Amino acid sequence: MFDFLAAIGLFFAIEGILFAAFPLGTKRAMAAALDMPECVRKGGRTLGIFATAATDVQIDDDVLDHSGIPLPSAASIRL
């Protein structure tokens, strides 16, 4: 979950840099997005939700073994 939040933070940081560096270009891009048909925007939202859910499932599968018990981290394993 931490990686997901870090990715969201990185997304907002990059978006902020784009707004600061290219204000007219981002304004044109937002105007173009508003001119898109509603079905295209709904499809984008649906795919975004699906991708977020698929990422969450993948992260949970990596953290848990198949019995549902969390795996120990590499730092906690001593030889």
Domain coordinates in residue numbering, the chain: 2-63
The structure tokens listed for 75 are 């730092």
For the segment 28-78, what is each residue's pLDDT rounded down to a tens digit?
A: 988 998 888 989 889 989 998 888 777 766 555 555 555 556 555 555 555
Beta carbons of 71 and 65 less than 8 angstroms apart: yes
Supply the pLDDT for residue 4.
78
Amino acid identity at 68: G
What mean pLDDT is predicted for residues 16-34? 90
Supply the pLDDT for residue 54.
77
Supply the pLDDT for residue 51.
84
Supply the pLDDT for residue 78.
52
Cβ neighbours around 59 below 10 Å, total: 14
